[in-house]
Amino acid sequence: MGDNVTPQQRPAQQLSVIDAVAIIVGIVIGAGIFRTPSLVAANTNSETMFLLAWVLGGLVSLIGALCYAELSTTFPNTGGDYHFLSRAYGKRLAFLFAWARMSIIQTGSIAVLAYIFGDYLSQVFSLGTYSSVIYAALIVIILTAINIAGIRMSTLAQKIFTTTEVAGALLVVVVGLFIAPAAEEVSVVQPAAAVAATPADASSFLGLAMVFVLLTFGGWNEAAYISAELKSGKRGMVRVLIISILIITVVYLLVNLAFSRALGHTAMAGSDAVGVDLLRQVWGPTGVWLIGILVAFSALTSVNATIFTGARTNYALGRDFKLFSILGKWNSQAAGPVNAFLVQGLISLALISLGLITRSGFETIVEYTAPVFWFFFLLVGISLFVLRRKAPEVHRPFRVPLYPVLPAIFCLSSAYLLYSSLMYTGVGALVGIAVLIVGFLLQMFFQAVPTLELNQPNI
* Closest among 254, 253, 280, 256 to 268, alpha carbons compared: 256
Give CA–CA dist 216/218, Å, rounded: 5
Contact 189, 42 (CB under 8 A): no
Give 230-293 as a DSSP string: BTTHHHHHHHHHHHHHHHHHHHHHHHHHHHHHHH-HHHHHT-S-HHHHHHHHHHTHHHHHHHHH
| Coil, helix or strand at residue 15 | strand
Give CA–CA dist 76/230, Å, rounded: 10
Give CA–CA dist 321/312, Å, rounded: 14
Other C-beta atoms lying within 10 Å of the C-beta of residue 192: 14
Q: Which domains does the chain have, with CATH numbers?
A: 18-445 (1.20.1740.10)
Q: What's the confidence (pLDDT) of residue 353? A: 84
Give CA–CA dist 24/18, Å, rounded: 10
* Closest among 300, 166, 155 to 244, alpha carbons compared: 166
Counting every residue written for the chain, the total comes to 459
pTM of the entire predicted model: 0.75
Give 35-51 as a DSSP string: TSHHHHHHTSSSHHHHH
Other C-beta atoms lying within 10 Å of the C-beta of residue 324: 24
* Closest among 316, 359, 361, 362 to 339, alpha carbons compared: 316
Give 436-453 as a DSSP string: HHHHHHHHHHS----SS-
Phi, psi of 455, rounded to the nearest 5 degrees = -95, 20
- 359: Cα separation from own chain's centroid: 24
Give CA–CA dist 101/347, Å, rounded: 11
Q: What's the confidence (pLDDT) of residue 324? A: 81
Q: What's the confidence (pLDDT) of residue 70? A: 92
Q: What's the confidence (pLDDT) of residue 459? A: 35
Give CA–CA dist 437/425, Å, rounded: 17
Q: What's the confidence (pLDDT) of residue 390? A: 94
Strand partners, 15: 230
* Closest among 82, 102, 79 to 93, alpha carbons compared: 82
Give CA–CA dist 159/285, Å, rounded: 29
Q: What's the confidence (pLDDT) of residue 258? A: 92
Question: Residue ranges of the chain with pLDDT lower than 50?
Answer: 1-8, 185-205, 448-459
Instruction: Classify the phi-psi angles of 321: left when phi > 0, otherwise alpha if psi is within -120 to 50, otherwise beta.
Output: beta
Angle at 404 (CA atoms; ends 401, 406), nearest 5 degrees = 60
Phi, psi of 286, rounded to the nearest 5 degrees = -60, -40
